Structure 1
Amino acid sequence: MKRVIQTLAALAGGGAFVAVSVVAFGLYNVSAREGHMWGVTWLMHTTFKQSVKLRAPGPEAVPDDLDAPDRVKLGALHFKTACAFCHALPGQSQSPTAQAMEPTPPHVSTITDWTPGEMFWIIDEGVKMTGMPHWPAKERDDEVWSVVAYLNALPDAQAQLALAGEGSGRATCAQCHGDEGKSGNSYIPRLDLLTPGQIAEALRQYRGGTRPSGIMKEAAAPLNDSQIASLAQKFGSPKAPQLQGAALAEDNSPGAELAQSGTGDVPACTSCHGPGRQADAPIAPLLAGQGRDYLAGQLKLWREGYRGGGERAKLMTKAAQDLSDADIDMLADWFSGLGAR
């Protein structure tokens, strides 16, 4: 038994010496041109797959609206501008630079081998030693699910394939928000309903990270103050739009009643966001006609304390903290259905 123990100790010591020598003297060739030694690729990829399977959320975590066309389009637009450099677009080849990486990033057509939960984990957390980054905003699971929605829709979503394949990979505001700020996508805010000041403030918050968003930080990070001011003037409305007619007083729907009911600590939604707000009300975005899913998503971020940014962030967090999912749905349905001029 003593000899066995001595032999095992000697083997362990020899192994440790070899490992230290490999590290200390640079014996392992890390050149991407040479690739890995035999067995290392299998070992690392198997470790990667099993790690993802162990940690990925299950089917119960997948949003019910994962196949919503607007959500798929939002994911497609972001994939085109932020992910396609490495993974390419459907029907296109990867760039020579991407093909020279070790390991080579998988082509978009093969990413669909994963379940939605596994894709979410990979996009959200990133993968060490592969060049795959984590999502820039930890708080924004909703954005990650939009990219998953696009990948999950492949290869059958022909409209989304065409959308993602159009034009260059360079991001422009109009690609998502529309030429005049009317996005037409329920998950993307209408900028024509905001003032230039509100747009400029939001872009500065995205750029500085005080308002978390992996999608918008990608767009805002390279902008200087002059560019932000120019974009705000281009897409914003100098005079905030107002609701047509006077039907508000006659609306007894649950959404209307909830929007017009405040508490001792929190004013009613309409007192700041309209319609029918007073002239001396705080300058806040008017919500009539805004995208339904965008409104619901923002209210959930406020409720969870993730929204951030703005002078009245604490007030909005307090206003939303007791809202149930059903309450949020009612408010989003009501405000988005009002329409604005």
Structure 2
Amino acid sequence: MRTVIKTLIVLALLGAVGAVTIVGLGLFNVSARAGHIPGVSWVLHTAYRQSVKLRAPDAEQVPDLSDPDLVALGAGHFDSACSFCHAAPDRIHSATADAMSPEPPHITDAVADWQPQHLFTIVKDGVKMSGMPYWPAENREDEIWAMVAFLTHVREMEGAGFDALLASDAPSDDTALTYCASCHGATGDSKGNGHIPRLDILDEGYMQDAITAYRTGARDSGFMAHAATQLPPDDLTRVIRHYAASAPAGPTPTAPLPPAELELMEQGAGVAAIGNIDAPSCASCHGPGLDQTKPGFPRISGQPRPYLAQQLKLWRDGTRGGGPRKELMEKAARTLSDAEIDALALYYSQLPAE
């Protein structure tokens, strides 16, 4: 028995010495051109697939991903941040992506064998030893689900359909505005997308503070952290001033509300008018009817309902970040139920944009 143990110890030591020699002398070839030795790719890929399946959330946790606005939101970020490696529907890989090791799969292949909960885990956590990053905003699962909404529709999406999601109504000779307008619209009206804030309602100072918070990481958003670092600060300032000068074109809604929604809107008005022991009412800082915007508090009348609801939940959960009024907003939202948040979001979304 002692002989066996001694033999195993010697073998372990020889293996350690061999590994140190290979690494220390640079004998292991890390060249992407050389690729992996036989079997290594299979081991890594199998480990990757099994790891994703083990850590993915339950299928019951997958939200409704059929919302076209959610798909469009994910498509915009994919085009800017992901398409370099994975290409886009009906387009071919670049030669540079083909030369990577491991080669990033074309987007139609990348989503082929995965369920939504698996795609969520891949986007959220990324993949070691590959070019796949983790989602840069730790507390923004809503953004990750927007990406998954897009990815689940890639299989039946043609190139023309993808291009339509990215269409910009901004002048083609203004690169910075065209980039921002792909999501926010040329005038800042968010192109009717309920998950994107209208910028034509916001003032210049608030937007400057917001973009700074995104750039520095003080405010969490995988979408905006990427966008805020794609353009030079001077270009961002010019685009912000353009949006601040845009005149809001009425309220977001275009159809009369059914009776049940009207009742919910009345409930929202009541919640907006009453503060709590730690914070004043919503209306006292955000309107409607204020003569001027209070510093640090944006006007929110006319903002899309889904966007407002998501921001209120982030404030309530203490994960919103950014802005000089962070502590106050967390106190104001701390006691709100999901039903009250829905009522508030509906109420403000139906008010005329100021």
TM-score by length of 1: 0.90
Tell me the equivalent position of 1:49: 49
Tell me the equivalent position of 1:95: 94
8 Å CA contact retained: 1:195, 1:238: no
Tell me the equivalent position of 1:336: 349
User: How much has 1:12 moved relative to structure 2?
Assistant: 2.5
Change (3 A) 1:107 1:240: closer
User: How much has 1:29 moved relative to structure 2?
Assistant: 1.0
2 CA distance for matches of 1:331 and 1:142? 19
Tell me the equivalent position of 2:241: 233
User: How much has 1:238 moved relative to structure 2?
Assistant: 7.4
Name the aligned partner's letter for residue 302 of structure 2: G
Tell me the equivalent position of 1:304: 317
- The correspondence of residues 253-332 of structure 1 with structure 2, limited to 5 A, is 253-277=266-290, 284-332=297-345
Task: Check if 1:71 corresponds to 2:70.
Answer: yes
8 Å CA contact retained: 2:73, 2:195: yes
1 CA distance for matches of 2:213 and 2:188? 19
Tell me the equivalent position of 2:162: 161
Task: Check if 1:177 corresponds to 2:181.
Answer: no
Tell me the equivalent position of 1:247: none
- The correspondence of residues 243-262 of structure 1 with structure 2, limited to 5 A, is 253-262=266-275
8 Å CA contact retained: 2:301, 2:351: yes
Q: 1:192 is paired with a residue of what secondary structure?
A: coil
Name the aligned partner's letter for residue 101 of structure 1: M
Name the aligned partner's letter for residue 94 of structure 2: S
2 CA distance for matches of 1:239 and 1:93? 41
Q: CA RMSD in A?
A: 2.6
Over residues 74-112 of structure 1, what are the superposed CA-to-partner deviations in whole Å (9 max), with x where a residue is unaligned? 001100110000000000011111110000001100122
Q: Which is further off, 224-233 or 308-317?
A: 224-233
Name the aligned partner's letter for residue 154 of structure 1: V
8 Å CA contact retained: 1:196, 1:232: yes
2 CA distance for matches of 1:312 and 1:185? 27
User: How much has 1:240 moved relative to structure 2?
Assistant: 8.2
Count of residues paired in the alignment: 334
Change (3 A) 1:280 1:96: closer
Name the aligned partner's letter for residue 139 of structure 2: E
2 CA distance for matches of 1:240 and 1:265? 33
Change (3 A) 1:67 1:147: same
8 Å CA contact retained: 1:86, 1:98: yes
Change (3 A) 1:41 1:234: same
Q: Which is further off, 191-200 or 76-85?
A: 191-200
Identical residues among aligned pairs (%): 49
Q: Which is further off, 78-87 or 50-59?
A: 50-59
Give unmatched runs, 5+ long, in structure 1: 244-249
Q: 2:200 is paired with a residue of what secondary structure?
A: helix
User: How much has 1:228 moved relative to structure 2?
Assistant: 2.9
Q: Which is further off, 291-300 or 110-119?
A: 110-119
8 Å CA contact retained: 2:184, 2:196: yes
Task: Please point out which of 198, 203, 216 is paired with 1:195.
Answer: 203
Name the aligned partner's letter for residue 5 of structure 1: I
